[in-house]
Structure 1
Amino acid sequence: MGGNGKHRWKISFRSSSSMPKQSPKEFMCPISGSLMADPVVVASGQTFERISVQVCRNLAFVPVLGDGSRPDFTVVIPNLAMKSAILNWCAASRVDRPTEPEYGSVETLVRAAMGSDGDDRFETSEKELLRAVPGNPPVMFSHAATEVNHRPNHFYSSSSEESVIAAVPATPLPLTTRPSCYSSFSSSSDEALSLAVTLDPISSEEEEILGKLKSSEVHEQEEGLILLRTITRTKEDLRVSLCTPGVLSALRLLLNSRYGVVQTNAVASVVNLSLEKPNKAKIVRSGIVPPLIDLLKGGLPESQEHAAGALFSLAIEDNNKTAIGVMGALPPLLHSLRSESERTRHDSALALYHLSLDQSNRVKLVKLGAIPTLLAMVKSGDLASRALLILCNMAASGDGRSAMLDANAVDCLVGLLRGKELDSESTQENCVAVLYLLSHGSMRFKGLAREARAVEVLREVEERGSGRAREKAKRMLQMMRGRDEEEEVDWEGVLESGALSQPRYRVGGAGKQHIHGAYSTEF
């Protein structure tokens, strides 16, 4: 292996036959030293192998890179453009596609680097995560308040966005860190039930709350949950302190309560605690996710709203994504996309968006038949923008692309663009982005795009669409013209000679090559 030979973390996970000596340096993971199979961009802008980032985060270690800088691992986004470039280079160089290195091998390597780099550790708060997000114009999301009593039907929201950092302009993917069942706004009735939360110090607050939560009396449980819910909504600085094993254990039991007030306030308290980044992994490890899934399946309507919001909030944390999928959250979240509650639908869609950033969850979603459901949502206009974001993630994997092509996604998306039925410029951008991802490495896409008469639609987007949409439309048109230009035929001469049934030849170049027809590619 060359081109990265001086890197102090260099390690080879592939045989010499599959790792060329002249691998481009930008295709190599700075930590593992191997050709990246699943490249991701971190908040500081560098690209790494996903496993390498996971190991560093699990070990709370921030390495020093070759240029003396330290990466920021608070945000991890798939680098689809880099992955496509690596796969294209492998195909052109006749090199085996890279495979993900083993976790244990990378862990050994990182631990060795930790020994030579001291005991540096890093912590990040949700505010730091938000500061790392580019300052794009906010997308408005419907938010419902977490009042103790019945909530009004008007919603308030503000959210942040993140953009996929890639070699080409990327479609903005919303990163909101507040589920729609949470709001900092409080009602007068809620304030009346705030129980005069002035307890001090924090140990006394936790002691009083735990005493009530563990009581056998239902009214004591209700008081304790109202107290916890009020504190964790109004006093953000106490959320981390109150997210203790004792509190989480009590909440896990109360989530299964048959009493509506207990059940609803317990799950709302989980939502509030989950808003702080340090709490997200603790909550998942405490065993609260299975009861949340049960509530999403058959809880009270308000409890279902909060359960969807809690799963969405927890799914933002990268280390939780696989675990939440393994515990069985994907089927009920898919079912909740059809919920009568708008809040449940919105938060379920955003939970699925974050969970579908994980490859293992994408595979599960394909097997669950999520693609037809999402395409139907796009066609009906119900949560179309959210559904398109999930489809963007699905199209980033081979299984997802195949399932989408099988489900006639190309014709569906081209039809939406042609009919101008999309409700916003960002939704149009997401629609074009899905088509762009489907076009990667797929000759089948060309045939389906021709059948859907996509060229005329893409030309219009190239001329009149937004910046990101125009760039992607231009690239797709170039891709679709590539083979046609390579096999250019003098059609006027052929028509004049009446030789339509005769063999056709490429015009220009050294020698003539036989072509079986204008559309000789088999799909």
Structure 2
Amino acid sequence: MQVSRPKVRALREGESQGQMGTASVQCLINSISRFIHLVSCHTTKSLPLPKNCKNLAVVLKHLKLVLDDVISLKLSSDELLYRECESLDIAVNDAREFIENWCPKMSKICSALKCDPLLIKIQSSLQEICEIVWKLSESVSCSSSLNAVQKCLEGLQSLKQERISESIEEALISQRSGIGPNSEDLLKIIEVLHLMSNQELLKETIAVEKERIDAEQNNAKEELYRINEIMDLIIRIRDWMIRKDYFHGINGVSVPSYFRCPLSLELMLDPVIVASGQTYDRSSIQKWIDSGLNICPNTHQTLTHTNLIPNYTVKAMILSWCDENKLNISSLSSLVQLSRQDSNRSDSSRSSPEVEKGSNKRNGDVFTSLIGGKSNEGQRNETEKFDHPSPQQSYIYSRSVSASSAFSSIDYVPSALNEVLKISTKHEITSEHPTASHNEASWLNSSLEGGQLQACKTETGMVENGNCNSTTGNLVPVEPESDNSSGDLHIKKLVADLQSQKDEVKMKAAEELRLLAKDNVENRVIIGQCGAIGPLLSLLYSDGKQIQEHAVTALLNLSINENNKVMIAQGGAIEPLIHVLKTGTSTAKENSAATLFSLSVLEEYKAKIGQSGAVKALVNLLGEGTLRGKKDAATALFNLSIFHENKARIVQAGAVKYLVGLLATTTGMVDKAAALLANLSTISEGRLAIAREGGIPLLVEIVECGSTRGKENAASILLQLCLHSPKFCTLVLQEGAVPPLVALSQSGTPRAKEKAQQLLSHFRNQRDGSTGKAKS
């Protein structure tokens, strides 16, 4: 029996349509696989709207199972289905391209407004596909497909709840109408986009300003209008946070708005005037300028120059206010400057190759904010594998916000530092030790970059009396109305696991305690009270490099808490930390140096650490470590050098050779090396070593073309050399020091001028003395 030609044509067309449908579904499966792989390879911090991206990847994973069934059961002949598959394929690829082109320095608000429409498009196509497949699966009674579709639909509901762009749009509409955004929308924007600290708001302001400049240069008028609206929204967010007392005062003392930096909202510890005549805190405006922005944040005038001129009037007023309120400005200044370290000191930058092989965890858990605002819920900085979620992924941790949340709470100001530093009547930071120089304090006031110690990077108030500013302190699995006692039990189990006979169990326990202590004030207290410090110290002698690294990093995080710091010190931490400095991975050595710095804040431990073998180990790290290690070592050595007897030990350990070498580098350590050398130049061994290692020509060069801080310290060192040795004085003159010193005496900072004038006066006295002898 022959089949008619029309029937044959119809069969072929049906077969062709089936093949097209299968090809569309297969293309979509491949795009989904690429998207899931991309998200799984990114850390939380390197994703725009990380929660949405990760949730979307989970939903697409379920959809992939659905589509596999579609192909195996040959359900793809439905024309509407493969059209939706083609549409979703385009949307998924657009989303993947967006993630690939995104970087953390971009504006979070702008990114949300661009990302959410892509998510909405994906959700719409997903909904359509699920409904079509549901009907097709029902017709063939395929229960596995129905289950997968059900999971997909459930995941879609969670995605719909996370649309932050709706709150942003609502706020912008209210702003246009003149009513102003409501508190609910502002709070959601702040929490979802993690704009809960001054530093995050500063970064967002810089990012949006860059977007505005790009739009202006491209003559994109509509985009420029939109960005200007977003900039206004950021200003409203900052005003709202201050109005709602989002940033607490210092020790209960409210900071007047006129003493806050207009950019960062921090108390201006180092107020400076820019070319437009506006006053900002040095650290904040420097960050603005370093980002390539040459306009005044307030007036939007182009800055004719980038010189930052100290505002002594405002500084004197702030000092007076601190004095009236019994606030120790020296301690605040040193700790805040330390807390402004490079925020890029993150796990990714600090992970050692040895640990990377065995773990995807990011490893730079150090102090992110001593003086912070309310905490926001953080996410684990690890690559989550969607196919194999670990039990730990069901936990969330409260994260304290970044370094400068307008002095939200400062319960934690180490008393030792209060004793070491004080304010003189001339508003100059000095040391109580009779032989200590201004440089010892000025180091703490300098802008410590990158990995320099973290003594303030994660802690908000709390600590000494257990008060926590955090609104979320969950250690326990994310379940409704869960109780903190289960978190305590979990920590006690981890502490017990530290003493297991199995290395793998010990490593996982140390790693999780490290993460728990990383961003949560309350966790640190509980971990310390549960007896974790002793077992962690024991693990510093472990032969397992990963165990040792996790343990030392956990101790570093725990030491933010003052009580923990004391327990770590009293637990005999110095020798184990020296062992890590000698035998650990590069990251373990860095964190060991950082922990020694943290302990050296306790006054009595400056001497104990100096008397141990720590100085030599730190000097070795200064000479042979990574750049991060060198910075950590320099920071620890500087703090130790405040104790006079340690200066000779540091010189004898060979530090001067490495420090002089750093003066000639472009690694960003010139100022730090000069500050430590300034301390060491107050003893004869230090001066001799500086001259012997060829430091004089480099110091003269810094006086001529170094940074403000570098010039001050270089002039101070040269003054010490010349005052104590005619030979060194001759060498300084031979290097042509007079012209740059004359320039510095006229245009430098008050301290630099003073040092330069003293040097020039000394040169004149030397010359007059020589002339007098010649005449006689």
Report the TM-score range of the alignment, normalised by the length of the smaller protein: 0.5 to 0.7
SS of residue in 2 equivalent to 1:252: helix
1:263-291, Cα deviation, whole Å (9 max, x unpaired)? 22211111011122333343123122222
Q: How does 1:71-470 map to 2 (within 5 A)?
A: 132-134=331-333, 138=337, 140-143=340-343, 144-146=345-347, 149-151=360-362, 158=403, 170-171=438-439, 172-174=442-444, 179=453, 184=458, 196=477, 199-200=484-485, 204=489, 207-240=492-525, 242-243=527-528, 246-339=531-624, 341-382=626-667, 383-418=669-704, 420=705, 422=706, 424-470=707-753
SS of residue in 1 equivalent to 2:620: helix
1:140-177, Cα deviation, whole Å (9 max, x unpaired)? 53352358844399998758999885688655222679
1:80-124, Cα deviation, whole Å (9 max, x unpaired)? xxxxxxxxxxxxxxxxxxxxxxxxxxxxxxxxxxxxxxxxxxxxx
Question: In 2, are the aligned partners of 1:463 and 1:470 still within 8 Å (CA)?
Answer: yes
Task: Rate the CA distance shift 1:439–1:241 in 2: closer, same or farther, 3 A.
Answer: farther
Task: Give the Cα–Cα distance (whole angstroms) in 1 for the partners of residues 630 and 494 of structure 2.
Answer: 32
Query: Which segment drifts farther, 290-299 or 404-413?
Result: 404-413
1:164-200, Cα deviation, whole Å (9 max, x unpaired)? 8568865522267983599549xxxxxxx97739642
Instruction: Report the Cα offset of residue 432 of structure 1.
Output: 1.9
Task: Rate the CA distance shift 1:472–1:201 in 2: closer, same or farther, 3 A.
Answer: farther
Q: Structure 1: which amino acid aligns with 2:689? A: A
Task: Rate the CA distance shift 1:357–1:211 in 2: closer, same or farther, 3 A.
Answer: same
Task: Give the Cα–Cα distance (whole angstroms) in 1 for the partners of residues 743 and 336 of structure 2.
Answer: 25
SS of residue in 1 equivalent to 2:443: strand
Is 1:471 aligned to 2:670, yes or no? Answer: no
Task: Give the Cα–Cα distance (whole angstroms) in 1 for the partners of residues 362 and 624 of structure 2.
Answer: 18
Task: Give the Cα–Cα distance (whole angstroms) in 2 for the partners of residues 153 and 360 of structure 1.
Answer: 32
Q: Structure 2: which amino acid aligns with 1:468? A: R
Partner of 1:115: none
Partner of 1:28: none
SS of residue in 1 equivalent to 2:543: coil
Task: Rate the CA distance shift 1:360–1:234 in 2: closer, same or farther, 3 A.
Answer: same
Question: In 1, are the aligned partners of 2:524 and 2:561 still within 8 Å (CA)?
Answer: yes
Task: Give the Cα–Cα distance (whole angstroms) in 1 for the partners of residues 518 and 750 of structure 2.
Answer: 40
Question: In 1, are the aligned partners of 2:637 and 2:650 still within 8 Å (CA)?
Answer: no
1:392-429, Cα deviation, whole Å (9 max, x unpaired)? 110122332233234343333113334x2x3x322222
Q: Structure 1: which amino acid aligns with 2:331? A: A
1:7-38, Cα deviation, whole Å (9 max, x unpaired)? xxxxxxxxxxxxxxxxxxxxxxxxxxxxxxxx
Task: Give the Cα–Cα distance (whole angstroms) in 2 for the partners of residues 373 and 241 of structure 1.
Answer: 41
1:229-282, Cα deviation, whole Å (9 max, x unpaired)? 233223314534543594222112212223344222211111011122333343
Question: In 2, are the aligned partners of 1:194 and 1:226 still within 8 Å (CA)?
Answer: no
Task: Give the Cα–Cα distance (whole angstroms) in 1 for the partners of residues 454 and 515 of structure 2.
Answer: 17
Question: In 1, are the aligned partners of 2:475 and 2:487 still within 8 Å (CA)?
Answer: no
SS of residue in 1 equivalent to 2:485: coil
Task: Rate the CA distance shift 1:452–1:290 in 2: closer, same or farther, 3 A.
Answer: same
Question: In 2, are the aligned partners of 1:142 and 1:180 still within 8 Å (CA)?
Answer: no
Task: Give the Cα–Cα distance (whole angstroms) in 1 for the partners of residues 630 and 767 of structure 2.
Answer: 44
Task: Rate the CA distance shift 1:239–1:196 in 2: closer, same or farther, 3 A.
Answer: same
Question: In 2, are the aligned partners of 1:281 and 1:320 still within 8 Å (CA)?
Answer: no
Question: In 1, are the aligned partners of 2:365 and 2:514 still within 8 Å (CA)?
Answer: no
Question: In 2, are the aligned partners of 1:194 and 1:227 still within 8 Å (CA)?
Answer: no
1:430-453, Cα deviation, whole Å (9 max, x unpaired)? 222322333444444433322223
More helix by share: 2
Task: Give the Cα–Cα distance (whole angstroms) in 2 for the partners of residues 137 and 181 of structure 1.
Answer: 9
Task: Rate the CA distance shift 1:283–1:381 in 2: closer, same or farther, 3 A.
Answer: same
Structure 1: gaps of 5 or more residues? 1-127, 186-192, 490-502, 506-513, 515-523
Structure 2: gaps of 5 or more residues? 1-326, 349-358, 369-401, 405-412, 429-437, 460-473
Task: Give the Cα–Cα distance (whole angstroms) in 2 for the partners of residues 439 and 281 of structure 1.
Answer: 42
Instruction: Report the Cα offset of residue 296 of structure 1.
Output: 1.9
Task: Rate the CA distance shift 1:259–1:267 in 2: closer, same or farther, 3 A.
Answer: same
Task: Give the Cα–Cα distance (whole angstroms) in 2 for the partners of residues 181 and 257 of structure 1.
Answer: 26
Task: Rate the CA distance shift 1:216–1:504 in 2: closer, same or farther, 3 A.
Answer: closer
Instruction: Report the Cα offset of residue 364 of structure 1.
Output: 1.5
Query: What TM-score do you get using the length of structure 1 for normalisation?
Result: 0.58
Instruction: Report the Cα offset of residue 351 of structure 1.
Output: 0.8
Task: Give the Cα–Cα distance (whole angstroms) in 2 for the partners of residues 154 and 213 of structure 1.
Answer: 19
Query: What TM-score do you get using the length of structure 2 for normalisation?
Result: 0.41
Instruction: Report the Cα offset of residue 350 of structure 1.
Output: 0.5
Q: Structure 1: which amino acid aligns with 2:640? A: L
1:331-367, Cα deviation, whole Å (9 max, x unpaired)? 2212222446332221111111111222222111222
Question: In 2, are the aligned partners of 1:375 and 1:409 still within 8 Å (CA)?
Answer: yes
1:450-488, Cα deviation, whole Å (9 max, x unpaired)? 222322221121123233212211122122223434666
Task: Rate the CA distance shift 1:131–1:436 in 2: closer, same or farther, 3 A.
Answer: closer
Q: How does 1:16-95 map to 2 (within 5 A)?
A: none
Question: In 1, are the aligned partners of 2:495 and 2:530 still within 8 Å (CA)?
Answer: no
Task: Give the Cα–Cα distance (whole angstroms) in 2 for the partners of residues 166 and 131 of structure 1.
Answer: 10
SS of residue in 2 equivalent to 1:480: helix
Task: Give the Cα–Cα distance (whole angstroms) in 1 for the partners of residues 422 and 698 of structure 2.
Answer: 24
Query: Which segment drifts farther, 390-399 or 196-205?
Result: 196-205
Task: Give the Cα–Cα distance (whole angstroms) in 1 for the partners of residues 363 and 532 of structure 2.
Answer: 29
* Structure with larger Rg: 2
Task: Give the Cα–Cα distance (whole angstroms) in 2 for the partners of residues 150 and 339 of structure 1.
Answer: 26
Question: In 2, are the aligned partners of 1:178 and 1:275 still within 8 Å (CA)?
Answer: no
Q: Structure 1: which amino acid aligns with 2:332? A: V
SS of residue in 2 equivalent to 1:151: coil
Partner of 2:250: none
Q: Structure 1: which amino acid aligns with 2:632? A: D
Task: Rate the CA distance shift 1:135–1:327 in 2: closer, same or farther, 3 A.
Answer: closer
Task: Rate the CA distance shift 1:135–1:330 in 2: closer, same or farther, 3 A.
Answer: closer
Task: Give the Cα–Cα distance (whole angstroms) in 2 for the partners of residues 228 and 130 of structure 1.
Answer: 34
Task: Give the Cα–Cα distance (whole angstroms) in 2 for the partners of residues 154 and 350 of structure 1.
Answer: 17
